Structure 1
Amino acid sequence: AHRKGLKPSSRRAYEDALRTHLLPNFGRMRVDAIADRHLDQLRDLELSAGTRNRLIAQMSTILNAAFRERCRRAAFRATSVKQDQREPEFWSVADFDALLAAAPSDEHSLVLMLGGLAGLRLGEIAALRRADVNFTRGRRGALHVRRSIWQGQVSTPKGRRSRAVPLHTRLRAVLERWCTGLEEEDLLLATADGRPLTQSMIKHRVRVCEAAMQGVPTRAARGATHKLRHTFCSHLAIMGVSVVQIQRLAGHASLRDTMRYMHLSPSDLDDAIDVLSRRRAGG
C-alpha cells in the first residue's frame, strides 16, 4: 500500500482491500502455501465481478512480489472472474436539458455542466481554479484540467495527464458570470471558508437538481455524478466524433475505456464499409 507513485484514492482502495478481504482470508497463511485454489475464496465472495477481479489482481501482485523476493518461484498466475461489460448509463439530450433547467443556482448549473458538457471527474471538478479557465484559447476558450482532489489530497488527474477541454457555449456563459471577481488562484467551487468542495458536496448538488426535475422520474442513483461524464462521452459518440478525439477530451488513459461508448456512433461502421466500397469500385 506504500508503493511509490500511487494516487491517494488508489492507495486507500488497496488498504481497504487488505484490511477487509485479503488479511482476513490469507493473513495467517505462509506465502509459499497459497495456491490458486485458495483464491476461490475471493472468486466466491458476494461482490461485483469487477471488485473480485481487483482483489484477485492485488493478491497476485503480492504473491509475485513475495516469490521474486524470497521464493524465486515462477510467476503466480490467477484466473479472473468473467465480468459482464455493462453499457454506461447517460442522460438523453432532453433529460440533460431538464436537469439543467432544474438547477437552482449558477453553482448547481456549473457542477452539471463541468460533468456533462466538459466530461470532468468529481476530483477534477473540485480541484479547478480560476487560472484553469482560459477564455482566449482557440475559438472557444478552454478548461485546463491539471489536478484532482481526493479526500483533501491533491494529485494529477487520473491517467497522470493534464488536458485542455474546449468550452461548450453554455458552459462558457456560466463561467463568464461565475469567474467575475475571482483571483487567479481561487478555487472555482469552494466552501464558505475557501476550502475545496468534497465529493459528497458535489454529489449532493447533483441530487438536488435530480429531485427538482420536471417530467422525468427522479432517482438519486449511486454513481449519478459519474453519469454526467458518461453523458459527455456518449453524446460525442452519438454525434460521430472520433474515438481518438473522445479519448483526448475525456482524458482516458486507455483507448479501451473510450471504446465503451463507440457502439453509439451511428456512422463508424458505415464509414468503414464506404471506404471499402470505394476501393473495390475504383479497383
Structure 2
Amino acid sequence: MPNHTQVNAIYCLNYQLIDACNQTARRVSLRTLLDRYVDVLWEPGSHKYNVSSFVGELDEILFGAEFSDFTDELLDRLVAALRKRGNSNATINRKMAALSKLLRKAHKMGDIRSLPEFKRLKEKAGRIRFLEPDEEKRLFAAMHEKSDIYGRFCIFLIDTGARLGEGIGLRWQDIHGERVTFWLTKSGKSRSVPLTERAAAAIHASERTKRGPFTGIVQAKFRAAWNEAKQEVGLGAEPDIVPHILRHTCASRLVQGGIDIRRVQTWLGHQTLQMTMRYAHLASGDLDICVPILERAARAKAK
C-alpha cells in the first residue's frame, strides 16, 4: 500500500490535472467574449456597430485563437497587423479602446486570468479632409444613380452632421416639423438639430412603410456603394473619403460660416470641446477684424 507521503503526492497530482483541465476549458476567443458582453457594455447605435466590427476584425487577425491569458505578445501582434493594413495610430487607438473595455470586463468576470498593458499611440494632428462643393456634387450624383435612398441619405447626413447609425436609427416619431432628434448616439445623450430645406425634402421623400425614413439602409451595403461611387468619380485613391467625411464636411461648413465652436459642439453632440476644436483652424478668417483695431492703436500711439 502507498504510504502517507505517496497518497498526498497522488492527490496533488490529481488536483493539478483537474486545475489544468479547468484552465483549458476556460479558454475563450475574442468573438466569444464579444457575443457574451456586447449588449452589456455598449448600447444600441453606431458605436456598438463599430465596436463589433473592430473586435471582429481583431478576432480574424488572430484566426479565432482561444486564450486564457491575453498577453502583451498578442497585443503587439494585433497592432503590427493593423499597421500593415494601413491603419493610422488614431484608428488603432479606437480599436484598442474597444478591445481594452471588452477584456477588462472578461477579466472581472473571470473569463481570462491576465490583461496586457495598453499604451495609447501618439496621434498626428493632421488636416481633416472634407468635401469641396464640386466633389459633393459628383459623389452624390453617383450615389443617387445607385439608389435614390442612398442619394437622399447622403444629403441628410451632410446637412445634419449625423453619424451613419444615427441617421439609420432615426424614427418618424423623432421628426417634429423641421427638426429631428437623434436618440441612438455615440455618447448616449440625445440631441436635436434643425433641418435645411433639402434635408427635410430628403426625409419626406421616403415612404412611411418602414419605422423611419432610412431604416431600410444596411450599413455594409451603403459603404460598398459609397466605395464604388468614389472610384467612379475619381476619388478612389483618397482613404479619408469615407462616409464619415459627410459629418466632417458639415462641421467644417458651420465653422467656416462663422458659427462659434460651442454651437458646433452642441450641433455635433461632442462630449468635449476638444473634439470640436479640430475644426477651429477653419475659423481663422474671423481674426481679420482684429487687424484694424491693432492698426488704430498703433496710429494713436504714434501721434
What TM-score, normalized to structure 1?
0.65
2:182 equivalent to 1:182 = no
* Bigger RCO (CA 8 Å, 6+ sep): 1
Question: C-alpha offsets along residues 103-148 of structure 1, whole Å, 9 cap, x if unaligned?
Answer: 347534421211111111111221222222222xxxxx211212xx
2:182 equivalent to 1:145 = yes
160, 166, 179: which one pairs with 1:124?
166
SS in 2 for 1:143: strand
SS in 2 for 1:79: coil
Question: Structure 1 or 2: larger helix share?
Answer: 2
Quote the Cα distance in structure 2 between the aligned partners of 1:233 and 1:255.
13
Question: C-alpha offsets along residues 192-231 of structure 1, whole Å, 9 cap, x if unaligned?
Answer: xxxx210133335546765776xxx343866522111111
Quote the Cα distance in structure 2 between the aligned partners of 1:131 and 1:67.
40
Please say which structure displays the higher CA radius of gyration.
2
194, 216, 222: which one pairs with 1:166?
194
Query: 5 Å matches for 1:216-255?
Result: 217-219=234-236, 224-255=242-273
What is residue 219 of structure 2 aligned with on the other side? 199
What is residue 113 of structure 1 aligned with on the other side? 155
> Is 1:207–1:220's contact at 8 Å kept on the other side of the alignment?
no
Q: 1:165 to 1:40 in 2, by over 3 A?
A: same
Aligned-pair RMSD on alpha carbons?
4.2
Shift of 1:236: 1.0
Unpaired segments ≥5 residues, structure 1: 136-140, 147-155, 191-195
SS in 1 for 2:161: coil
> Is 2:162–2:268's contact at 8 Å kept on the other side of the alignment?
yes
Q: Percent of pairs identical after alignment?
A: 24
Quote the Cα distance in structure 2 between the aligned partners of 1:50 and 1:98.
29
Q: 1:26 to 1:42 in 2, by over 3 A?
A: farther
Question: C-alpha offsets along residues 42-88 of structure 1, whole Å, 9 cap, x if unaligned?
Answer: 5544522235435655459846985998xxx9x98543322223333
Equivalences, count? 245
Which deviates more, 231-240 or 51-60?
51-60
Quote the Cα distance in structure 2 between the aligned partners of 1:44 and 1:85.
21
